Structure 1
Amino acid sequence: MNWSRFFDEAAMMVKPHPGTVGRPRRAGGPASPFRHEAGFTLVEIIVSILLIAILGVVTLGFLTNLIQTNQDASGQNDVVDEVNTALQYMARELRNVDEFSWPMHCGNPAAACVVNTVYTRIEFSKDVEVPVDPARRDPNVDDIVYNLNGTNLERTSGGITTTLASDVSGFSIQEIDSAGAPGVPTGILEITLAVTRPSPDPAVSFSFTGTTAVRIRNSLPVLNIAFVVDDPDNLHGEREVDYNNHLQNVLGHNVSLFNDDDHSWAPGNFDAVVLSGDGGGSDDDWLANAAVPILTLYSQDYNEFELGTNRDTNGEESAGIVQAANHFITKVFGLGSFAFDDGEVNTPDKGYITGFGNDVTCLVSYALASRAKLLVAPSGGLLADGSTTAPARRAFLGMREYRESGNVLNRNGLKLFNRTLAWVAGLG
């Protein structure tokens, strides 16, 4: 008998199943089915719960911080955007300021702006050009006011107030000078705006400060004006008192009063002469050849300069030969006939003044049915006689009276006066 083969087969018969290695079977019955299923012990379950809780706390904290960071960034961005938007809006409007028509005023009460002085309120007009058609006029151009009211930066125009920025912690505007000319206006405005806004977290606030600078289109310098009147000690109540006040307190010029029959003063010491007296040729002829810009408000003075009707001869206007330029005049209307001197200058409707083209009916004779009330001659240009050369700029603006029968010259009439004076003085 092959015993080696016998023992090998016997060993194979008693070899355990792989799934029961090391697990002795209980005699007398089948193995329990629960013995073969995997599971977690109580310790494993508790450890797992703790790990999940720790991970949740960490994740929640991260998400909370992320949300708070986003909220803070959004709040800060809102403040930055609000400051920049307000500064850009103000710079855009102030860039169109035309002080030749109407000067800026600062502070409250409003007064002439002082260089290098910080203000929280500014008032200005931005109409450089106004459409010929009055119906197309933008009413939102006059008396624009920027004002810090509490913590709101407000813009007021035409009786309507809007808020440019809220939660304002600082606002300032000032005209700066140049390094080479301390104290001299430059027309450059520096604007600073700061906003500080609270957040839901009392310990956190959003703040931003922005600064910009803008140069206005037409900056009005201080002029030395000779104001020639009937009697400096007794100014004409309807004309000279108000024009003198306007020249000094509204336009901010240095004004010297002279009697219209006083020939002792030197016209060359002034930037411009404004004539309001009603003296005849013997009083005013001596100024006719002066190389100084002259604006006259009274037709008789104007006539003596041969810019209009020659009062001493036939009373006729020589139309169409006065050299004129229309680039300096703001197109303004609704002046009212009461404001104009209804004197001898009343017949140029038979022809146009060269240089104005079709606008002459609107600019010169709109208010008085084709009566020319604004005539100009540039330096070196021909006067109305067709042969005399103007030694300096000359202008006649038939606005003799500032007030008449209770009526007061309106804003548009004063703008026409301001603009004409600026041209006479060589600014436009």
Structure 2
Amino acid sequence: MRRARSSRRPVRHAVAVTLVAVVPLTTRAAPAVADSVELPSIPSVVAPGEPCTPASKVIARQEPWTRQALGLKRAWTLADGSGVTVGVVDTGVAATVPALGGRVTAVGAAGKDCVGHGSFAAGLIAAAPAEGVGPAGVAPAARVLAVRGTDERGAPTARLLADGIRAAVDGGAKVVYVGRVVPDGKEVLTAAVEYARQKDALVVAPYAPDALPRDRATGRTVRPAPWYWPAAVPGVLTVMDHGPDGTRPKNAPPPAGADLAAPGDAVVSAGPEGAGHFIGSGSSFAAANVAGAAALVRSRHPGMTAAQVARQLVAAAYPAVPPRVDPYAALTAVLPDERAAPPALPPVAIAPESSPEPRRRALWIAGAGGGLALLVAAAAVVIPRGRARGWRPAGREPERGTTG
């Protein structure tokens, strides 16, 4: 059983960062300082009665920090995600997004995205690079299968997420990105993940929500739950976010049990319509980057199972707590086969037992030699003394008239 995962800090929906060389889509005159424009922030939900997220009016021309952090230029020399379908279980994915043009298939009404969160995540996974446009997806040739895991306004439930996982697997997805996690629904989501495992599909999810909900009565932020699903289900590849410096804010809760970390703070991607870009932060977007990396590995190594792909991503990641995903290393690393038997040790040759006769002979000779040496030593002492006494016994005086 996984350890409980604590929640991350609330997502900063009102935050927007300054990007260099971002050009407005409109024909209005450029502002006085024309080399920077703030991108709008992508929401997680749209409140009842509010309009759907409008198109962004700006295009990010500069490459975002995530492309270098993930080493995508090197990774793309080996794989681009072709031949792999990634299921995006989220708020939907707009089929009209230019960067995803021709590669989005929707289940039911998931081809429309009122919130924009699913389209943003799909852009991180599979947006095609374009001339003069900075952002691009990790697996720019992968196909996207859009599946609703929330209601139209972005509110998830365990049942919607579980049904979405099953629908993505049935639609041929070999990587299933789940953009939301919930504090309940253990049984139904465990069964859905097991269904994906049986179909050899890898499920990737954030390890905790991007933001904690507020209590309607008190207006206070709800305390984090001890578990979030499907992140807590064994076999799910869980991801936390990090920023441009590779770390998280000091006041962020510890990553209790996340399998990987990936760029997720101040990331740039497509919106629910048009060619404009948005900015977003959260572990859900970090999970989207890992889902793209999984598509690259499955594209280059189609014979790998889902479990092997997960192991490849974790084992080849940059050493940290948790490890930071490295797509290029995951594509090139050669890991030992887990199922291989341990190497056999070379046989040790044992000499046959020798005859005891030479040893006995040697001992006899040594003993005889030692005895002879003692006799010689004794003779050297006894003979001179015996001669001096005339060979008389000790203690007897010589008789008179005799000479000694």
Calculate the TM-score normalised by the size of structure 2. Answer: 0.27
Computing the radius of gyration over CA atoms, which structure comes out larger, 1 or 2? 1
* Higher percent of residues as strand: 1
- Larger RCO: Structure 1 or Structure 2 (Cα < 8 Å, ≥ 6 residues apart)? 2
Q: TM-score scaled to structure 1, two decimals?
A: 0.26
